[in-house]
Amino acid sequence: MKVNRFELVKKFEMLLPVVGFNTMLPEYQRFRISNSTICASDGSMQMISFLPVDLGFSCAIPAQEFYGVLSTIKDEEVELTLDRETNKLLLKTGKVHASFASFPYKPLKDVAPVGTPWSVDKLGGIQPLLDKFAFCQSAISKDGTAGVFCGVLIDKEYIVASDKYRICRSKYLVDGKPLIDHVISIPVPFIDLMRKYADKIELLGLGDKNRKMYVIFKDGTLITTTLYSEGYFDTRACFPSGDFRILKITPEIFEAIEHNATFLKRLPVIDQDLTIQFQNHVCTISSELKEVANLQEVFDIEVDWDFTLFVNPAFFYDANQKMGSCASDAGSASVVRYFTEGGSIISIRGEDEYLITPRG
């Protein structure tokens, strides 16, 4: 059967992020085709979509190899046929003849949506939620074994992410109420797909006793993901509610921290430390590469109390960047709260909060 190549490329390209990479599990490295239905799974995330035509056969084929050929040829139409004698899928155009190993088609399991989903209209659009995800994503743990900390959490009225060194959170309510009344952690690849295809999303929901999340596109495409579970700690307890001191981050402070962040760049991010000391209206910002070099900047400042902070400069810089502050913009310097009881630093902008846990 001859099919428009551009339509095929568009559909199979959408499935690629759901194709697995583990060569020990080859069935997750395949596109699954059944007439007009196509699907893929990496074992955690699954996607089902639909072609504009019925191909008239069912099989599974190597995903990367098939897409590689399909996306690079120039012809407007391709002919796809399944050779049952050789168990190969044949792709033909005027110039190109390609064949791909064919395997029995196995439908994906447990992909049917369960429960009542939220419509995008009910959420007031999908973009506000995706913006909250985007704000929190920099604090997601890079440790692939960190479980729930490898995703963005919805914790009742907050969207939260943490790598245990910092916490980003932002309040998210629908009609004045939390979206859900419990905690879930959403994997980053699923969020990335939501952001990429935001304009196509029609429904968002939870299923399998809140162990899975799914989105449904306007064309019927369904994406599901297994949610992270267990090992969550209450990030609310990390946000002190007692006495705090307010320090405006001036361009001079920000620039000095930026210098130290560059100075310490050779170290792993989590091992970077600098000291900010305020004493007798003088600010001293310093850092050290042990047995190699040290850096210190000293300048006058209008602070009426003496105290010392131990800060991760990379996180501090990221917090101020996210809050819209920069060294050259004194008029929009963000506010940092210093909590005396623990030494945590929190940047706040509207409903967005960025907490850096105490160092030293």
Q: What is the pLDDT of residues 45-76, one digit of tens each?
A: 999 999 999 999 999 999 999 999 999 999 99
- Amino acid letter, residue 179: L
Helix (H) or strand (E) holding 69, with range, is helix 63-72
Q: What is the mean pLDDT of the chain?
A: 87
Q: Which of 196, 226, 193 is closest to 209 using CA atoms?
A: 226
- Other residues' Cβ atoms within 10 Å of the Cβ of residue 341: 10
pTM: 0.85
Q: What are the structure tokens assigned to 183, written together?
A: 């905690």
Segment (H or E) for 142: none
Beta bridge partners of 118: 204
Give CA–CA dist 11/221, Å, rounded: 10
Residue 202: its pLDDT value, please? 95
pLDDT score of 181 more than 90: no
Q: Residue 316: enclosing H or E segment and its boundaries?
A: helix 313-322
- Please give the angle made by the CA atoms of 48, 54 and 56, to the nearest 5 degrees: 110
**Average pLDDT of 237-248?**
72
Domains of the chain: 2-101 (3.10.150.10), 118-236 (3.10.150.10), 239-356 (3.10.150.10)
Distances (CA, A) of 14 to 31, 46, 58, 194: 11, 12, 19, 11
Q: What is residue 336's predicted lDDT score, i.e. its pLDDT?
A: 61
Per-residue pLDDT at 114: 67
